[in-house]
Amino acid sequence: MKPVQIEQRKVTYTDLESWPDDGRRYELYDGEVYVCPAPRARHQLAMGELYAHLRQYAQRTDGIVLMSPIDIVFTEHNVLQPDICFFQASRRQFVTLDKAIRTPPDVVVEVLSPSTRRNDLGRKKATFARFGVSEYWLLDPHKEHLDRYAHADGAYERTLSVGPHEQFESVVLAGFSCPVESLFSW
């Protein structure tokens, strides 16, 4: 008897929206479901500090900064929830208040955790690059380190890597900078 290959149907964003709220966060990678683990306190504290810096910058520049959970729908089969995302003032019209966001942010931030590290450095980073997010920041609260990746030719190239007692700067968000140690002052 020949083996039978069962074709699995790709899950869509429409499917996800129809699921009952079970308290979990889901992402879609080419129609494959990924359950996002709940973050720990270290993750949340570091994310909150960086969000506060970005919030101040957004207020000065009329940009919009959002933090997870928020769905960014690149396609019906590719839906991600960045820890933080930023839309510059010139693109704020793409942030719809009562509908899913269907345009890539200018900047996304992922906070590395032991449970998300592999995904954040692998397919999540690759998916953000594939859909044209200009800058990808990786914040590592265990190493107290922040990396900046620039989008080039459909992939990311690390263009800045800073630790404590150093200043982080964005190229895409002109004038944004913050001292790295301020992200870990908790």
Residue 180 near residue 166 (C-beta atoms within 8 A): yes
Burial of 17 (0-12, 13-18, 19+ CB in 10 A): exposed
| Domain 13-184, CATH number (from 3.20.20.80, 3.60.15.10, 3.90.1570.10, 3.40.605.10) | 3.90.1570.10
Residue 146 near residue 138 (C-beta atoms within 8 A): yes
CB atoms within 10 A of CB 5: 6
Domain ranges, ordered by start, for the chain: 13-184
The sign of the dihedral angle between the CA atoms of 151, 97, 82, 142 is positive
CA–CA dist 5, 133 (Å, integer): 36
Residue 65 near residue 84 (C-beta atoms within 8 A): yes
| DSSP-derived 3-state class of residue 37 | coil
- One pLDDT digit (tens) per residue for the chain, 186 residues: 555 554 578 999 999 999 999 999 999 999 999 999 889 999 999 999 999 999 999 999 999 999 999 999 999 999 999 999 999 999 999 998 999 999 999 999 999 999 899 999 999 999 999 999 999 999 999 999 999 999 998 899 999 999 999 999 999 999 999 999 999 988
The sign of the dihedral angle between the CA atoms of 163, 167, 171, 176 is positive
> Does the reported pTM lie above 0.95?
no
Contacts 24+ apart (CB under 8 A), 165-168: none
Give start and end residues of each alpha helix (H) in the chain: 13-18, 41-61, 117-121, 123-130
| Tokens of residue 59, six digits | 């207020």
What is the structure's pLDDT at 8? Answer: 75
What is the structure's pLDDT at 154? Answer: 87
- Which amino acid is present at 46? A
